């Protein structure tokens, strides 16, 4: 009987990681065991341990797979910093709102992962995610100010925080509550467009 191929191993890993996302979302990180994940993936515990040494190792792989699937918008030729900033905000809103690995992993990192010593590696991933997003947008805001797309008096740090708060607030209001039962994405874009204009008012 032929042995397992790389493709077989990858399929098993994907099945395990798919199951981990679902189980941790339901049970929280602290209450999930490797046995729970094996059961949900319909594989043996030995199969899970054959790929991942423990739950944290598995969870790190789960996060890495999700973030590797992201397709950050590429800046097009001739596009201004402010235009790129706008597109990236819309992209993040879609990323947060559409079901998929990134949405599930972010929910886990922010809502299902306790701030305990056991989860330091995962909290570091969360902090790195935040830091990278903030760094990317701050760079664009600085460029927009330099190119006179935003006022010279713009408070860079405040504008950056405002922009991320805008995305987080729209997502929370539209996709985590029942305030808007339909046409959520159309409303999300209108809210973001209106809020984005507020960047020009954030002065030192």
pLDDT tens string 26-37: 999 999 999 999
Q: Which residues contact 166 (CB under 8 A, 6 or more apart)?
A: 89, 192, 195, 196, 198
- pLDDT at site 97: 85
Reported pTM: 0.86
Q: Are 159 and 143 in contact (CB under 8 A)?
A: no
Task: Compute CA 53 distance to the chain's CA centroid, rounded to the nearest angstrom.
Answer: 25
> pLDDT class for 3, splitting at 50, 70, 90?
low
- pLDDT at site 204: 80
> pLDDT class for 177, splitting at 50, 70, 90?
confident
> pLDDT class for 181, splitting at 50, 70, 90?
confident
């Amino acid at each position: 009987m032929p042995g397992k191929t790389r493709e077989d191993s990858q399929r098993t890993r994907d099945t395990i990681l798919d199951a981990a996302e679902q189980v941790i979302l339901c049970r929280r990180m602290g209450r999930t065991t490797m046995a729970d994940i094996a059961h949900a993936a319909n594989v043996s515990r030995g199969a899970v341990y054959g790929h991942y040494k423990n739950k944290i190792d598995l969870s790190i792989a789960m996060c890495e797979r999700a973030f590797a699937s992201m397709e950050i918008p590429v800046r097009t030729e001739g596009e201004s910093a402010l235009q790129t900033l706008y597109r990236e905000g819309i992209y993040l809103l879609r990323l947060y709102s559409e079901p998929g690995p990134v949405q599930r992993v972010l929910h886990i990192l922010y809502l299902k992962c306790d701030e305990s010593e056991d989860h330091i590696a995962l909290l570091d991933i969360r902090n790195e995610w935040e830091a990278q997003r903030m760094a990317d947008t701050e760079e664009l805001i600085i460029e927009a100010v330099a190119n006179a797309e935003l006022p010279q008096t713009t408070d860079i740090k405040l504008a950056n925080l405002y922009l991320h708060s805008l995305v987080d607030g729209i997502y929370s209001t539209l996709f985590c509550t029942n305030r808007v039962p339909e046409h959520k994405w159309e409303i999300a874009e209108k809210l973001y467009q209106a809020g984005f204009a507020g960047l020009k008012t954030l002065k030192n």
